[in-house]
Each structure stands twice: as structure tokens, then as C-alpha cells.
């Protein structure tokens, strides 16, 4: 067996998955902030911020350029938990299901992706709640802001002020989103990569990884945005008398009633430009980590 074919130990699959996600997040955090704020805008705010560029200009004006990186610590913790788990489990299980160097079919890839996504989402929900709140804080009046100092401060204050169960608020739609995202993102990426290689026009390398990632990003963004918007609004709401303002069904009904069905794709542009580059960068970093391991450590 050549060095290129030597299996990567499971511990490194998890390490490389989380590290790839963290590296990608450092580049796309401003897009995540814009996506979250666009999803939180109601009818009145949409009159003020008609486009993502308009919103970005306002954030820079009101909070400075570094304001675009509010919530970065939460974003990194989310990747260290969610992406470490989902990518590590996906690559590990996929290797187990590979026989005679023949990878699983698309349906099995999608199933493995959904399972890995649910596990990762449950582990990563506390960081997700902190991220949503930290990136959304700047849109509130000064007297209503939570003003978390960093992700650790956010998690401690949420625990003390609202109870530890709030760490997992929106866990069900978060896991639902993760099922959609991972079935689309992971299965589509590895399937697209496999099919592109079959054409004979591509060979293993950065350009192949880039093209497969772009295909994956388009499918993932379109399929997962409605669930993502529901999750975002659940996790950002306040706790009143020990209970959240609304439940998941109420959130969906309110969006349909007051904003229309197209509101479920509100912020599609920043969402795609967040999830697209994040998908591309995550897989590019992951592939480079894998290649470096096989070259220098295997």
C-alpha cells in the first residue's frame, strides 16, 4: 500500500476536521454576522437595510471594522465542537464502509452525513447559541444588549441568568439543519469530487477540491436556509419567566403570517457567501491537512 493510501488515524480525522473549520471561520466570520443580522430583521428594519452591503456599511459605521468580527470566539468554539465531531465522524464511518477501495454510494453518504451532523449539532449547540447572540447584539438598542465579553462569558452568563438548558435552546431545529446541511454538504462534496475525477478532466488537487466545494455550497445553502432562519430566531429570543418567548411552531407560523414564505430565504446572499466560502475553505484546509499527514507523518 502506498503512502498516499495509508489510513489516517481516527484522532487525526477529528483534529483535522475541527482545525479546518476553525481556519475557515477566521475568513468568513463577517459573513456569518451579516447573515445572522439579516435573518433577525423584521419588516421595519428591512426598510433600513435593504441589502447585505448596506447592512455591512452600517455595521462598520456604528461598530467599526472589528465589529464585523463580533462573536469570533463563539464561532471558533462552534467549529471546535460541531465541525470536529461531524467531519471526524463522517470520514471515520465512511472509511469503515469502504470495501475494496470502493466508497459508499450517494444515499449511504447522505445517511452518514445526516448522522454525523446530528451528533455534531448537539455537541455544538451551546456555542451556536452564544454565536447567534453575540453576532446579533449590535442591532439592539444599547440598553437591551447583552454585551458578552467572549464566548466563555456568554456561556457562564446564560447558565447563571437563564439556566443550563438554554445552552441547548433550538437544539432540535439545529440538529434538523445539521441533517440537511451535512447530507447536502458532505455527500455532495465527496460525490461531486468522485464524479469530476471520473470525467478525466480533473486530477487530485486544489482545483478539484475547489470545484467540488462550490457545487456543494450551492446545494447546501438553498436546502438549509429555511431551517437555519427558524433556528436563529429561536436561539436569539429572550427568556421570560423562565420560558422562551415562542416555540418552534410559533416561530414558523409568525414568519409565514407576517413576512411570507419567501422570508425563509431571507439573507440567502450572505448565507451563500458565508456557507459557500466556508465550505470551500473547510474542505481545502481538510484536504491539505490530510495530504500533509500522508506526506510527512504516514
Residues 6+ apart with CB under 8 A from 130: 71, 74, 77, 148, 151, 154, 155, 158
Q: Cα(144)–Cα(63) distance, rounded to whole angstroms?
A: 16
- pLDDT tens, per residue, the chain with 298 residues: 344 456 788 888 899 999 999 999 999 899 888 878 877 776 666 666 667 788 888 889 988 999 899 999 999 999 999 999 988 898 889 888 888 778 888 888 889 989 998 999 999 999 999 999 998 888 888 888 899 999 999 999 999 999 999 999 888 888 888 888 888 887 888 888 989 998 888 888 888 888 988 888 888 888 888 888 888 788 777 777 667 777 778 888 888 888 888 888 877 777 787 777 888 888 889 989 988 998 887 6
Q: How many residues does the chain have?
A: 298
Classify residue 79 by its DSSP letter: I
Distance of CA 136 to the CA centre of its chain: 16
Q: Cα(138)–Cα(24) distance, rounded to whole angstroms?
A: 23
Burial category of 31 from C-beta neighbours within 10 Å (exposed 0-12, middle 13-18, buried 19 and up): buried
Sign of the alpha-carbon dihedral angle for 155, 220, 279, 255: negative
Please say whether the beta carbons of 131 and 78 come within 8 A.
yes
Q: Cα(232)–Cα(240) distance, rounded to whole angstroms?
A: 18
How big is the CA angle at 207 (ends 205 and 210), to the nearest 5 degrees? 110
Q: Tell me which H or E stretch contains 15.
A: helix 10-40
Q: How many CA atoms lie within 13 A of 118 on its CB side?
A: 8
- Which 3 state secondary structure label does DSSP give 239? strand
Give me the helices (H) in 143-267, please: 151-162, 171-198, 206-236, 248-258
Domains of the chain, earliest start first = 3-296 (1.50.40.10)
Q: What does the block give as the cell for 124?
A: 455544538
Predicted structure pTM score: 0.74
Please say whether the beta carbons of 215 and 192 come within 8 A.
yes
Burial category of 47 from C-beta neighbours within 10 Å (exposed 0-12, middle 13-18, buried 19 and up): exposed
Burial category of 247 from C-beta neighbours within 10 Å (exposed 0-12, middle 13-18, buried 19 and up): exposed
User: What pLDDT digit, counting tens, does each position of 36-64 carry?
Assistant: 887 777 666 666 666 778 888 888 998 89
Q: Cα(296)–Cα(298) distance, rounded to whole angstroms?
A: 6
DSSP β-bridge partners for residue 99: 102
Q: What does the block give as the cell for 219?
A: 446545494
Distance from the first to the final alpha carbon of the chain: 11
Amino acid at each position: 500500500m502506498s503512502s498516499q493510501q495509508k489510513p489516517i488515524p481516527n484522532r487525526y480525522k477529528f483534529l483535522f476536521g475541527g482545525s479546518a473549520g476553525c481556519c475557515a471561520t477566521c475568513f468568513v466570520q463577517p459573513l456569518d454576522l451579516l447573515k445572522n443580522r439579516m435573518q433577525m430583521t423584521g419588516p421595519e428594519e428591512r426598510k433600513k437595510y435593504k441589502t447585505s452591503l448596506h447592512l455591512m456599511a452600517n455595521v462598520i459605521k456604528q461598530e467599526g471594522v472589528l465589529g464585523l468580527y463580533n462573536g469570533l470566539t463563539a464561532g471558533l468554539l462552534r467549529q471546535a465542537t460541531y465541525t470536529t465531531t461531524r467531519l471526524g465522524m463522517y470520514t471515520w464511518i465512511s472509511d469503515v464502509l469502504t470495501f475494496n477501495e470502493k466508497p459508499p454510494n450517494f444515499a449511504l453518504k447522505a445517511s452518514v452525513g445526516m448522522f454525523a451532523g446530528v451528533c455534531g449539532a448537539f455537541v455544538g449547540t451551546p456555542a451556536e447559541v452564544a454565536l447567534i447572540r453575540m453576532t446579533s447584539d449590535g442591532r439592539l438598542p444599547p440598553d437591551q444588549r447583552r454585551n458578552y465579553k467572549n464566548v466563555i462569558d456568554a456561556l457562564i452568563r446564560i447558565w447563571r441568568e437563564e439556566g443550563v438548558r438554554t445552552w441547548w435552546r433550538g437544539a432540535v431545529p439545529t440538529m434538523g439543519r445539521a441533517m440537511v446541511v451535512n447530507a447536502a454538504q458532505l455527500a455532495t462534496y465527496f460525490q461531486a469530487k468522485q464524479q469530476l475525477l471520473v470525467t478525466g478532466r480533473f486530477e487530485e488537487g486544489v482545483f478539484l477540491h475547489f470545484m467540488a466545494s462550490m457545487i456543494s455550497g450551492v446545494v447546501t445553502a438553498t436546502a438549509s436556509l429555511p431551517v437555519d432562519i427558524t433556528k436563529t430566531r429561536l436561539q436569539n429570543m429572550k427568556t421570560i419567566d423562565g420560558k422562551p418567548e415562542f416555540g418552534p411552531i410559533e416561530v414558523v407560523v409568525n414568519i409565514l403570517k407576517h413576512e411570507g414564505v419567501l422570508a425563509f430565504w431571507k439573507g440567502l446572499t450572505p448565507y451563500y457567501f458565508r456557507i459557500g466560502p466556508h465550505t470551500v475553505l473547510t474542505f481545502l484546509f481538510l484536504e491539505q491537512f490530510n495530504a500533509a499527514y500522508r506526506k510527512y507523518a504516514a
